Amino acid sequence: MTKHELLKRLPHHCEVKLKGCLGQSFLTPAHRKNRVEYKRTPELLWDYSQVITACVKCHEWIDAHKDKKEKIFKRLRRYYK
């Protein structure tokens, strides 16, 4: 999938919904892994399994809590390995 195709498919609201979530404002695509980890598998960079819609608040939080981030991805993308 291209970035453009994926962004069209992703929800237009924050999927993470932590305390202090901004809901439908300041949305960003949040990746499951660090950018460098997609170097060998560039086809996964914009794969639905690897990206969620997150508001900037939730995005910051999950980037600072990597272990929780994977749990959130497992919950939100459980049918997409």
User: Smallest distance from the beta carbon of 27 to Zn ion, in angstroms?
Assistant: 8
Distance of alpha carbon 43 from alpha carbon 60, whole angstroms = 25
* Residue 13 vs 33, nearer CB to Zn ion: 13
> Tokens 């819609």 sit at which residue?
53
* Residue 24 vs 41, nearer CB to Zn ion: 24
> Tokens 């962004």 sit at which residue?
7
* Residue 1 vs 13, nearer CB to Zn ion: 13
Q: Does 14 bind Zn ion (CB under 5 A)?
A: yes
> Tokens 């960079």 sit at which residue?
45
Cα distances from 78 to residues 10, 25, 50, 71, in angstroms, run 15, 25, 11, 10
Q: Does 6 bind Zn ion (CB under 5 A)?
A: no
* Interaction residues for Zn ion, span 19-78 (CB under 5 A): 21, 55, 58
For binding to Zn ion (CB under 5 A), which residues are involved? 14, 16, 21, 55, 58
